[in-house]
């Protein structure tokens, strides 16, 4: 049995994960962690990691960047693995995730769906072939409750594309504040927020007389929940290190 502490358990993703593991299997949520300590499922909910005494193998975190330090502190102190799915971290916070991965197994990805991780690899391949002649723009669409922009996934895709480009690209988030033509080495990142759109990502490669578009559309939050459960299982028995969906896809 893999015992999970679910961080952000009372959020949208926390609830979807709680429902996904409710009917048994090899993963059990033994405690929830959230600033909102409402009890909605059959596990206790805490707002302080020091109050959690039940043994756990892994923390799954879908919460808020402000919570990262507490999650990593609990995991490294107690030798518990971490699945970090929260997005919107700054550079210093990302470094803290990398540092923690020197001590414990950490699975970190901005998107837990296999489909998104596949289109990320496809976009990287497209960038390798098309660079120089095609302008790259990324459009992401999400629900009106999302607080970070651009999405962690859009940034992840841009970072992967960047690895293929001979010239370091400049990420451009706002074309409104400047009056000038697009530079060749830009990657434009654009966010749409509305309704209950689960998550859509399109990478556009626009060339002369031809456009290549690679799109992923999520139809439910369950794909992310199931991905994070898979990630928790994947970490079982692993040594300290940084893992992501590519490791699962290459298995
Ligand atoms: N990697 C992935 O595949 C996915 C990542 N996400 C990310 O997961 C995060 C959560 O998403 P949702 O569940 O939609 O958000 P939400 O806002 O519905 O839930 C967040 C939960 O975290 C709690 N929380 C907020 N600040 C906290 C703090 N400082 N300490 C402890 N708990 C705190 C809130 O009370 C709430 O219950 C977001 O960053 C989102 O972008 C969401 C879906 C997929
Ligand atoms: O907040 C969300 O909902 C999502 N966030 C992630 C992101 O920022 O990329 C992943 C997914 O698209 C849903």
145 pLDDT band (50/70/90 cuts)? very high
- Please choose, from the candidates 137, 159, 144, the residue with its C-alpha nearest in 3D space to the C-alpha of residue 204: 137
Look over the chain and give the mean of its residue pLDDT values, rounded to a whole number: 97
State pLDDT tens for residues 54-107: 999 999 999 999 999 999 999 999 999 999 999 999 999 999 999 999 999 999
What are the residue numbers of the active site? 142, 146
> Residues annotated as binding site for NADP(+)?
39
Answer whether the bond into residue 63 is a cis peptide, omega within 30°. Answer: no
23 pLDDT band (50/70/90 cuts)? confident
Contacts 24+ apart (CB under 8 A), 13-20: 13/62, 13/85, 13/221, 13/224, 13/225, 14/62, 14/63, 15/40, 16/221, 16/222, 16/224, 16/225, 17/60, 17/62, 17/225, 17/228, 17/229, 18/43, 20/222, 20/225, 20/226, 20/229
Q: Which residue has the higher pLDDT, 23 or 149?
A: 149
State pLDDT tens for residues 227-247: 999 999 999 999 999 999 999
- Please choose, from the candidates 58, 57, 64, 82, the residue with its C-alpha nearest in 3D space to the C-alpha of residue 72: 82
For residues 167-194, average pLDDT: 96
- Please choose, from the candidates 84, 124, 76, 36, the residue with its C-alpha nearest in 3D space to the C-alpha of residue 244: 84
Say how far apart CA 212 and CA 235 lie, in whole Å.
36
Ligand 1 pocket member 66 (CB < 6 A): yes
Cα(146) to centroid(ligand 2), Å: 8
ipTM associated with this complex: 0.99
pLDDT at 24: 79
Q: Best of 64, 83, 87, 225 to mutate for ligand 2, by most ligand atoms within 8 A of CB?
A: 87
Q: Best of 11, 65, 150, 226 to mutate for ligand 1, by most ligand atoms within 8 A of CB?
A: 11
Cα(53) to centroid(ligand 2), Å: 31
Could you give all domains of the chain from N- to C-terminal order, each with its CATH number? 2-108+221-249 (3.40.50.720), 114-218 (3.30.360.10)
User: Which ligand approaches the C-alpha of residue 193 most closely?
Assistant: 2
User: Which ligand approaches the C-alpha of residue 152 most closely?
Assistant: 2
Say how far apart CA 166 and CA 68 lie, in whole Å.
34
Say how far apart CA 225 and CA 70 lie, in whole Å.
22
Say how far apart CA 108 and CA 244 lie, in whole Å.
6
Cα(134) to centroid(ligand 2), Å: 27
- Is the model's pTM score more than 0.90? yes
């Amino acid at each position: 049995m893999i015992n999970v502490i679910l961080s952000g358990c009372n959020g949208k993703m926390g609830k979807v994960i709680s429902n996904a593991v409710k009917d048994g299997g090899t993963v059990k949520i033994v405690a929830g962690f959230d600033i909102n300590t409402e009890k909605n499922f059959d596990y206790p909910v805490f707002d302080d990691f020091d109050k959690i005494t039940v043994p756990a193998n892994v923390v799954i975190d879908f919460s808020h960047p402000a919570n990262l330090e507490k999650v990593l502190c609990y995991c490294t102190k107690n030798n518990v693995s971490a699945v970090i799915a929260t997005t919107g971290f700054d550079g210093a916070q990302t470094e803290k995730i990398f540092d923690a991965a020197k001590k414990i197994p950490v699975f970190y990805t901005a998107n837990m769906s296999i489909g998104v991780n596949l289109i990320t690899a496809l976009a990287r391949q497209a960038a390798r072939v098309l660079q120089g002649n095609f302008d790259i723009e990324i459009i992401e669409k999400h629900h009106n409750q999302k607080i970070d922009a651009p999405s962690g996934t859009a940034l992840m895709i841009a970072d992967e594309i960047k690895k293929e480009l001979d010239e370091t690209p400049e990420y451009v988030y706002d074309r409104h504040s400047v009056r000038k033509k697009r530079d060749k080495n830009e990657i434009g990142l654009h966010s749409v927020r509305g309704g209950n759109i689960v998550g859509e990502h399109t990478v556009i490669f626009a060339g002369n007389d031809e456009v290549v578009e690679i799109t992923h559309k999520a139809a439910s939050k369950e794909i992310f929940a199931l991905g994070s459960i898979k990630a928790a299982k994947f970490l079982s028995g692993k040594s300290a290190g940084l893992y992501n969906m590519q490791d699962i896809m290459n298995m």
